[in-house]
Chain A
Amino acid sequence: MSAVPQRAEQSAPAASHAATPYYRFQPFNIGRWIIWTLFAVVLLVAPLIFTSSLSQTMLTQMGVAIIVCLSYNMLLGQGGMLSFGHAVYSGLGAFLAIHTLNLVSKNHLPLPVSLIPLVGGVSAMGFALLFGWVTTKKAATPFAMITLGIGELVWAMSLMFPEFFGGEGGISGNRVTGPKPFGITFGPQIQLYYLIAVYTFVCTALMYAFTRTPLGRMLNAVRDNPERVEFVGYDTQKVRYISFVIAAFFAGIAGGLAALNFEIVTSEVVSGYRSGAYLLFTFLGGATFFFGPIIGGILMVLAFVLLSELTKAWLLYLGLVFLFMVMYAPGGIASLIMMNLRVASFGRLKELWVSYLALAVTAFITLIGAAAMIEMVYHLKLNAALGPELRFMGATLNAQGASSWFGAAFVMVTGIGLFEVARRHFARQWGEIQEFIEKEMKRREAL
């Protein structure tokens, strides 16, 4: 399920290329144009629909998160490189960007504010040229450990050099500075949003284009079978190195945009937690498809801004969701979407909706029971001074009363039992549909 679609695509052009060496018919790809136009329209219209200042801040952050998750996926999804130090590049990019911004403010440097993210990108690229030379010497698991080591190195350094990293307080700047073409000052959030939207669109398009270049294809090959790539005559390390540098460039742009957005950069941006978050959400969104990290980036902002407000236990929920996702859907949300699209294209999706409804309801019941218990534990630990009572989804629970605990446990156990029944039914149905699709595909091939 994981990388099959990409690989299938990969072999197809190669085969047709061999058959027709001089001329290849490329139809005007309407689907692609529609999707990209839709993406642009969504970026354009989103702040007009969600007009509150909270949602505008969130949209701005989402744009940044999308770029950084996509750049991370260039390593994880396309190159099979599991990096634990991606925040180094976005973070250092952010630091260089804010220092540049401060230079611009002091009139030392005539640079429009809208180009400052590029400074972040180029500087991150420079750091990647340096660090990447060491990290990309290895692949797979040693690569992961080395990126972790470099990440820790940079993070520890950020505390050692307060002149550059600003120590505890960080470095702050002011984005309303420099020349103001057409009266655009980037003071109001909406102006900054559109700057970030433009960057998001262009970067997404560029990163998509990268997957279509020979280098992008070779990167997939290095991920799938490095030994064979070596035999063919490519240097796998060089392929990884160049891709690593390109990924760092986009991460640096995202860092520069974040610096403009928050107008403050603290050493937290290079921390291992940040790298871990990029990894987690890129994976949740789906590393095997190009659009997966876009979902991941949106989820990241939603989780950091909304979920953390909603409950104190959000990191626990996040960890559990991640664990189950790795175990049951290693392709992330994007792969779930694509699997259902496949079922839909064979016209069998509508028989599944009852099962989906049953799954959703039973999972929700389980979640309510489990969440009630988790919230009670957190309440006992953190808000003991406020008394044993807490409000949870409209009900008042007594964290020290046996009845609340018994009720929550009962709800959860019932939920689990019903979910298991629904799951078995669904699994049978799903398997049967997949068999049908396999047969149907064979039949169509034979035609």
Chain B
Amino acid sequence: MEFFTISLLNGVSYGLLLFMLSSGLTLIFSMMGVLNFAHASFYMLGAYFAFAVTQLVGYWPALFVAPLIVGALGALFERYCLRRVHKFGHVPELLITFGLSFIVLEVVQLIWGTSSVDYRVPAALEGPLFTIYGTQFPAYRAFMMLVALLMLVSIWLLLTRTRIGLVIQAALTHPETVEALGHNVPRVFMLVFGGGAALAGLAGVIGGNAFVTEPGMAAAVGPVIFVVVVCGGMGSLSGAFIASLAIGIIQTFAVGTDSSLLGAAGTIGFDITPQTFGYALWKLKISQVAPILPFLFLVLMLIFRPKGLLGTREG
């Protein structure tokens, strides 16, 4: 029970972090048809900027400044690089973001070095929030969840209750019509890209110190958010929400589970020895399998429901 509650809470907070990343990716994808390969790089930039700003003026300003810088960088990238290759089609668009992820990684290593930086949780949020079944739940995890939920609500309000949100929604499906009505669709694209990058940056600010801020963090989380976007259904925000929570929880539970197929076979009476065929597979612990679970999930999803959880189109 203790393990269950704590893992569930940790899983939800990790899932919400994943959703902060995948929401921006989904928005950008459904709007511009661009799979932003550098999205996780913006996440990493957010963490590093937050680290730098925290050293200068403290954590709380960094919470606002770092996402803004990342968003501005994203908007600039869209304006001067992505828009230029838009006419060549989707593959070059994907490739240019791929190139960007290369450059961001190198620049980050150049400025902050190849090892991890000491980006810490602020003093006010250190320590446990409450103790449950004898295990402490860190206050910062709760703060992460709070920020993610706030962001979720504000995105939802922005998209459904404001004028610009309506324009964005309309431009998702009918860009030509929106343009004919006199809205500047390229600028909306730029805003969405910048906004998505800023969301990733915000995820970096709150995720960087909860986990670890190092040059490998983009490569670690990038494939997982792609899995989230595909599993949730390409371009579906609510699908991305469900998929991120599911993957967050599954992965957290798996990391903490120490049993293996060997044990399961033992309880039902099979005796498996190192001579048994496929012993390497039998003896694997679930915690060892955890890193590949999202990808297995992806493969299964594609076999049984190719359009994703809440997707409407078969890409």
Contact = CB atoms under 8 A, between A and B. Distances in A.
Contacts of B296: 153
B303 A138 contact: no
Interface residues of B, number: 47
Interface residues of A, number: 44
Interface string B218-242: 0100010011011000100000000
Contact of A142 (B280, B291, B294, B315): B315
Contacts of B103: 316, 319-320, 323
B223 A326 contact: no
B315 A140 contact: yes
Nearest to B291: A156
Given A145-B226, A145-B230, A146-B302, 16 more contacts: A2-B88, A134-B302, A140-B90, A144-B35, A146-B230, A149-B223, A161-B280, A280-B98, A280-B99, A283-B95, A319-B103, A323-B103, A327-B96, A377-B110, A381-B110, A381-B113
B166 interface: no
A145 B102 contact: no
A152 B85 contact: no
29 contacts: A82-B91, A82-B94, A134-B302, A138-B315, A141-B33, A141-B35, A142-B315, A144-B35, A145-B229, A145-B230, A149-B226, A149-B230, A149-B294, A149-B295, A152-B223, A152-B292, A152-B295, A153-B292, A160-B284, A160-B292, A161-B280, A313-B106, A313-B110, A316-B106, A319-B100, A320-B103, A323-B100, A330-B88, A378-B110
Nearest to A141: B35
A164 B280 contact: yes
Interface string A133-169: 0100111111011101110110011001101100000
Given A160-B288, A326-B85, A149 B298 contact: yes
Contacts of B29: 141
Interface in B78-94: 81, 84-85, 88, 90-92, 94
Contact of B299 (A2, A150, A322, A326): A150
B292 A157 contact: yes
B107 interface: yes
A277 B219 CA distance: 15
A160 B102 contact: no
A148 B226 contact: yes
Contacts of A2: 88
Interface string A400-444: 000000000000000000000000000000000000000000000
Main secondary structure of the interface of A (DSSP, over half): helix
Contacts of A280: 98-99, 102
A203 B257 CA distance: 48
A272 interface: yes
Interface string A55-88: 0000000000000000000001000101000000
A150 B96 contact: no
A209 to B, nearest CB: 25
B106 A319 contact: yes
Interface in A313-351: 313, 315-316, 318-320, 322-323, 326-327, 330
Contacts of A160: 284, 288-289, 292
Interface of A: 2, 76, 80, 82, 134, 137-142, 144-146, 148-150, 152-153, 156-157, 160-161, 163-164, 272, 276, 279-280, 283, 313, 315-316, 318-320, 322-323, 326-327, 330, 377-378, 381
B94 A139 contact: no
Query: What are the 9 closest A-B residue pairs judged by CB atoms, nearest first?
Result: A319-B102, A153-B295, A142-B315, A319-B103, A316-B106, A323-B99, A322-B99, A152-B223, A156-B292
Contact of B230 (A142, A156, A323, A326): A142
B306 interface: yes
A134 B100 CA distance: 28
B185 to A, nearest CB: 20
A146 B226 CA distance: 8
Contacts of A378: 110
A108 to B, nearest CB: 18
Contact of A276 (B88, B98, B106, B110): B98
Contacts, number: 120
B306 A138 contact: yes
Nearest to A81: B91
A313 B111 CA distance: 12
B6 to A, nearest CB: 25
Contacts of A326: 85, 92, 95-96, 99
B90 A137 contact: no
A320 B107 CA distance: 11
Contacts of B294: 149
A272 B302 CA distance: 21
Contact of B90 (A141, A318, A322): A141
Of A142, A164, A283, the most chain B CB neighbours within 10 A belong to A142
Contacts of A276: 98, 102
Interface string B133-168: 000000000000000000000000000000000000
Given A160-B292, A315-B102, A144 B315 contact: no
B131 to A, nearest CB: 35
Nearest to A82: B91
A106 to B, nearest CB: 20
B102 to A, nearest CB: 4
Contact of B98 (A138, A146, A279, A320): A279
A43 to B, nearest CB: 30
Interface in B36-81: 81
Contacts of B94: 82, 141, 144
Given A164-B280, A319-B106, A148 B99 contact: no
Nearest to A151: B223
B223 A322 contact: no
Contacts of A320: 103
A142 B301 CA distance: 13
B297 to A, nearest CB: 9
A76 to B, nearest CB: 8
A327 B84 contact: yes
Nearest to B234: A142
Nearest to A381: B110
B298 A327 contact: no
Contacts of A153: 292, 295-296, 299
A327 B85 contact: yes
A280 B103 CA distance: 13
A406 B107 CA distance: 21
Contacts of A145: 35, 226-227, 229-230
Contacts of A272: 219, 223
A156 to B, nearest CB: 4
A134 B303 contact: yes
A146 B33 CA distance: 16
A345 B177 CA distance: 45
